[in-house]
């Protein structure tokens, strides 16, 4: 498989370990990619608050670039996935609006016909590669590791734009991945809730309550780690966990929040360093130890 | 033997009960099984439980046709009008259904919640038309187009599903909530209303106002009438900015994001944090410092000078062509 690769701002900024671990895993799987270095930010739904059309134009520009290459887009971020899916959904059902947007893109010689699909690495692995094929690359069985899923809003809503009906596995994608590496799912109600990141700079008290509730609840239920396909959720749930847990629950940050490719990399036997696990704010030492002690896959 | 269509369907329910008459209120889970017609809704099944199995089960319903908004409840964790929810759609293989009262609202008994907090949120937005004059005779008319624009929000039946699943209300009871904000939008967009600017300013300035929404889209997903409250909240923000309300972190955050992409083609995370706090807001800026230091120590502080996307000048040209058009 080959993809037009759109890593997103955060994987190239505040969460570099996501970019590195994704590349390591993709290489091991033989997934080819061409990085869309000319593409702009999706707007993350924030730019859209000021100017929805501007956001749609930026995203359609990216879709047109991938379309020219004849490749589907692969993203690493729930928010990129959701914002792009919503923009694609809007223009594909409204040809007049798309024509209007294409007018703006003409100066760059771009025109979008509406054929690009957008897939998060997590979805691509399940839908295009298949979990059975993925499992063949694993060298460890991560039994005894309890992991709580945390999706990120944009990866689960709105279900129409995300095409959940046509792709029912998307609803349980993280759980299915956790089970495929041999881990146990720690299910909890907050897994599809907001992590608090979008209001971090607007209403920090509320944001901290969300971080403390989600990480604290998952820990109380026995989770050793939380797994997320969203680097924005990661920034908040990992980076602000010490402050949130102290402020809201009066306890300590004790739940590592790992990226999807880091979990896969651990099952593939990759080292802490290759996966950038030492770059987390909440210590990942214990889960690295658990992975290293895990039985070899037969 | 020709296949025959089954005449009944077996439904398994696990219901969260609450009895306020017990000291301090007693909460427990209770399981029921009933046989109903295969086309039944979740509400039909609950009524069957009440009429055949357990007359003490309290639930509220009226129209049974998703018009009155009385029967909002959580089905498998998400708020729904149970009269509009067919059992086969939520339990296609006869799975047990989990039924709870709606969230973020006071439970009176079992599946019945009090609407007091819902209506006090609605009342905060002065949910009535405030025209600048009264026509001397006849009706106060408005164009068809302007009214059609309001239909999304006017479809609201005040069932409370959006409030039930709002992730902000879960941590902050002071948030005005999705239903009230969608209602407020209905009046700011009504050409007959004379208080548009005041309404926008109040919702912009007040604690728990329009900027506290996290954009999680739960309200969009659970609304049974297509009101899409969050989309209305985004339109309120856009209108508030256009009307000159620039005194909030929310505004600075949006503006910084917009300009960062304009300048770099990408997001400048460090700048976004500082802009949102406000360059002169020393306590807020100091508050960011420890996080920055912790990130730096782990080798992951976002670059102080942002990477630019290749061709970022073309992004700037695009911004110009869109802004010129406006």
Position B2 confidence tier, pLDDT thresholds 50, 70, 90: low
Report which of A58, A77, A56, A42 is spatially closest to residue A232, judged by C-alpha positions.
A77
From A46, A52, A157, residue closest to B257, measured CB to CB? A46
Is the pLDDT at B1 greater than 60, yes or no? no
Chain A residues whose CB is inside 8 A of the B274 CB are none
Cβ A8 vs Cβ A44: under 8 Å? no
| 8 Å CB contact of A38 and B310 | yes
pLDDT of residue B31: 98
Whether domain A131-293 has CATH 2.50.20.10: the reply is no
pLDDT of residue B296: 78
Neighbours of A137 (CB within 10 A): 16
Cβ B37 vs Cβ B8: under 8 Å? yes
The CATH class for the domain spanning B116-132+145-242 reads mainly alpha
Residue A141, classed as helix, strand or coil, is coil
Could you give the CA distance from residue A290 to residue B89 in angstroms, rounded to a whole number? Answer: 41
Mean pLDDT in residue range B32-52 = 97
Q: Domain ranges in chain A?
A: 2-121, 131-293
Q: Domain ranges in chain B?
A: 9-113, 116-132+145-242, 249-325
Is the pLDDT at B62 greater than 80, yes or no? yes
For the domain bounded by A2-121, which CATH number is listed?
Answer: 1.20.1050.140
CA–CA min distance A242, chain B (Å): 10
What is the architecture, at CATH level 2, of domain B9-113?
Roll (3.10)
Position B284 confidence tier, pLDDT thresholds 50, 70, 90: confident
Neighbours of B55 (CB within 10 A): 9
| 8 Å CB contact of A41 and B261 | yes
Burial code of A6-42, b = ≥16 C-beta within 10 A, e = fewer? bbbbbbbbbbbbbbbbbbbbbeebebebeebebbbbb
Searching chain B, which residue's CA lies closest to the CA of residue A209?
B171
Is A16 in the B-facing interface, judged by CB distances under 8 Å?
yes
Position B304 confidence tier, pLDDT thresholds 50, 70, 90: low
Could you give the CA distance from residue A26 to residue A139 in angstroms, rounded to a whole number? Answer: 16
Q: Where are the beta strands (DSSP E) in B105-167?
A: 107-109, 112-113
* Residue range B123-167, pLDDT digits in tens: 999 999 999 888 888 888 889 999 999 999 999 999 999 999 999
pLDDT of residue B272: 83
pLDDT of residue B4: 75
From A12, A40, A281, residue closest to B298, measured CB to CB? A281
Which residues of chain A fall short of a pLDDT of 50?
none
Torsion of CA B321, B322, B325, B326, to 10 degrees: -150
ipTM (interface pTM):
0.91
Residues 274-293 of B with CB under 8 A from A: 276-277, 287, 290-291
Report which of B270, B267, B271 is spatially closest to residue B292, judged by C-alpha positions.
B270
Cβ B159 vs Cβ B69: under 8 Å? yes
């Amino acid at each position: 498989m080959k993809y037009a690769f759109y890593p997103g701002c955060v994987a190239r900024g505040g969460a570099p370990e996501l970019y590195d671990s994704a590349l390591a895993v993709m290489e091991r799987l033989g997934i080819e990619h061409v990085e869309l270095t000319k593409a702009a930010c999706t707007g993350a739904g924030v730019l859209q608050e000021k100017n929805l059309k501007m956001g749609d134009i930026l995203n359609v520009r990216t879709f047109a670039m991938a379309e020219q290459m004849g490749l589907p887009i692969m993203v690493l971020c729930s928010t990129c996935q959701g914002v792009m899916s919503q923009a694609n959904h809007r223009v594909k059902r409204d040809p007049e609006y798309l024509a209007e947007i294409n007018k703006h893109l003409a100066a760059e010689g771009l025109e979008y016909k509406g054929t690009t699909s957008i897939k998060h690495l997590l979805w691509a692995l399940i839908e295009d590669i298949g979990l059975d094929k993925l499992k063949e690359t694993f060298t460890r069985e991560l039994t005894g590791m309890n992991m709580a899923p945390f999706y990120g809003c944009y990866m689960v809503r709105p279900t129409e734009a995300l095409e959940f009906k046509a792709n029912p596995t998307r609803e349980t994608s993280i759980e299915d991945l956790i089970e495929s590496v041999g881990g146990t799912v720690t299910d909890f109600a907050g897994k599809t809730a907001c992590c608090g990141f979008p209001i971090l700079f607007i209403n920090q008290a509320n944001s901290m309550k969300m971080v403390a509730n989600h990480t604290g609840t998952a820990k109380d239920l026995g989770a050793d780690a939380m797994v997320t396909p969203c680097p924005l959720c990661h920034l908040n749930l990992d980076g602000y966990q010490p402050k949130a847990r102290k402020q809201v629950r009066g306890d300590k940050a004790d739940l590592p929040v790992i990226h999807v490719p880091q979990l896969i990399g651990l099952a593939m036997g990759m080292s802490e360093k290759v996966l950038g696990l030492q770059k987390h704010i909440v210590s990942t030492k214990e889960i690295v130890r658990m992975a290293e002690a895990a039985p070899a896959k037969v | 033997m020709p296949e025959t269509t089954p005449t009944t369907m077996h439904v398994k329910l696990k219901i969260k009960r609450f009895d306020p008459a017990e000291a301090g209120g007693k909460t427990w889970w209770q399981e029921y099984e009933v046989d109903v017609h295969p086309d039944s809704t979740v509400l039909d099944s609950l009524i069957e439980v009440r009429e055949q199995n357990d007359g003490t089960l309290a639930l509220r319903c009226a129209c049974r046709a998703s018009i009155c908004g009385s029967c909002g409840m959580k089905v498998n964790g998400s708020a729904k009008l149970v009269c509009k929810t067919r059992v086969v759609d939520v339990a296609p293989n006869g799975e047990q259904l989990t039924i709870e009262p709606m969230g973020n609202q006071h439970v009176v008994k079992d599946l019945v919640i009090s609407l007091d907090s819902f209506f006090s949120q609605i009342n905060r937005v002065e949910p009535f038309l405030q025209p600048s004059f009264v026509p001397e005779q006849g009706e106060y008319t408005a164009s068809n187009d302007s009214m059609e624009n309001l239909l999304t929000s006017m479809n609201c039946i005040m069932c409370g599903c959006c409030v039930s699943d709002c992730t902000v209300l879960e941590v902050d009871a002071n948030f005005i909530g999705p239903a009230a904000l969608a209602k407020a939008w209905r009046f700011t967009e009504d050409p007959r209303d004379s208080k548009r600017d005041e309404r926008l300013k109040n919702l912009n300035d007040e604690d728990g106002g329009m900027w506290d929404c996290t954009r999680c889209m739960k309200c969009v997903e659970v609304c049974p009438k297509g009101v899409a409250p969050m989309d209305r909240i985004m339109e309120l923000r856009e209108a508030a900015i256009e009307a000159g309300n620039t005194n909030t972190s929310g505004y600075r955050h949006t503006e910084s994001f917009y300009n960062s992409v304009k300048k770099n083609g990408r997001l400048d995370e460090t700048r976004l944090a500082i802009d949102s706090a406000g360059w002169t807001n020393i306590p807020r800026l100091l508050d960011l410092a420890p996080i920055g230091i912790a990130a730096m120590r782990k080798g992951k502080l976002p670059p102080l000078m942002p990477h630019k996307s290749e061709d970022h000048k073309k992004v700037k040209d695009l911004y110009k062509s869109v802004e010129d058009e406006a």
